[in-house]
Amino acid sequence: MTKPTRPLVALLSGAGISTDSGIPDYRGPNGLWRKDPEAEKLVTYEYYMGDPEIRRRSWQLRRSNGALRAEPNAAHRAVAGLERSGVPVRVITQNVDGLHQLAGMPARKVLELHGSARSVVCTRCGARGPMGDALARVEAGEEDPPCRECGGILKSATVMFGERLDPVVLGEAMGISKACQVFFAVGSSLQVQPAAGLAGVAADHGARLVVVNAEPTPYDDLADEVVREPIGTALPRLLGELAAAAR
């Protein structure tokens, strides 16, 4: 008797999956953009490139926000555990914190739509390096550390407002969304396109769509299941059930 084929599981994760790790979300009731609308300028490419004061404030925010010290939580570990169980899993994340990889997901199975806050990139020559090294320079007194290769402006290797997503990464995410049998949208407001549209693409191609989010999303009506429970308890339960069914 042949074993049933295990479903390809795609998981789109947004800021809500990392709040239990101490990283605030952006658009929730206590989100960063609601508390301080001016903070959005710090991650807007035009402002960042054109205003040295914005860059100085951005470096201070990176120093103080603690994202690089954050640890994976139960939800991240549950996703990595599902992958280790033998179920094919691909993570498409809107987050830049790298916590899926720290929890044990192989980096090649994680698509970072918005880049990574764990690296810096030069806006002139494209040289990359660890964020920790750049922050050490800020700690040592460089308020706006330039690229050591060419003297250009350094920024976090994240996609700022006003920048395009990497078309290769987006194309891979689209392919996974079309091919998967189950699509989880976890901790995402599903308001930011084109990432949010991946949920609709998956549903249109026959995937079972499960939305796990504290607040309503524009895709709830398309979903086969909508879960409003806390992500840290809901996702381990849901993925545990999926792993058991796939055995």
Helix ranges (H only) for 24-85 are 32-35, 45-50, 52-64, 74-84
Maximal C-alpha separation, the chain: 67
Among 92, 108, 106, 94, which residue's Cα sits nearest to residue 175? Answer: 92
Please state whether beta strands 115-122 and 110-112 pair in parallel, antiparallel, or not at all (unpaired): unpaired
Q: Is-contact 231 72, C-beta < 8 A?
A: no
Length of the chain: 247
Residue 171 CA to residue 206 CA, distance in Å, equals 19
Measured between alpha carbons, how far is residue 98 from residues 54, 72, 143, 185 in Å? 25, 9, 25, 18
Tell me what pLDDT residue 247 has: 75
Which residues fall within 8 angstroms of residue 142, CB to CB, at 6 or more apart? none
> What is the pLDDT tens value at each position of the chain, 247 positions in all?
344 468 899 999 999 999 999 887 655 545 555 556 677 888 899 999 999 999 999 999 888 876 788 899 999 999 999 999 999 999 999 999 999 999 999 999 999 999 999 999 999 999 999 999 999 999 999 999 999 999 999 999 999 999 999 999 999 999 999 999 999 999 999 998 899 999 999 999 999 999 999 999 999 999 999 999 999 999 999 999 999 887 7
Helix, coil or strand: residue 44: strand
Give all domains of the chain, ordered by start, each with its CATH number.
1-23+71-114+164-247 (3.40.50.1220), 30-65+115-158 (3.30.1600.10)
Q: Are 75 and 17 in contact (CB under 8 A)?
A: yes
- The count of C-alpha atoms lying within 13 angstroms of the C-alpha of 1, restricted to the half-sphere facing its C-beta, is 2
Q: Does residue 246 sit in helix, strand or coil?
A: helix
Token pair recorded at residue 1: 């008797």
In this structure, how many other beta carbons lie within 10 angstroms of the beta carbon of residue 235? 28
pLDDT for position 1: 38
Q: Is 205 an active-site residue?
A: no
76, 100, 114, 205: the active-site residue: 114
- Quick check: 161 and 152 in contact, CB under 8 A? no
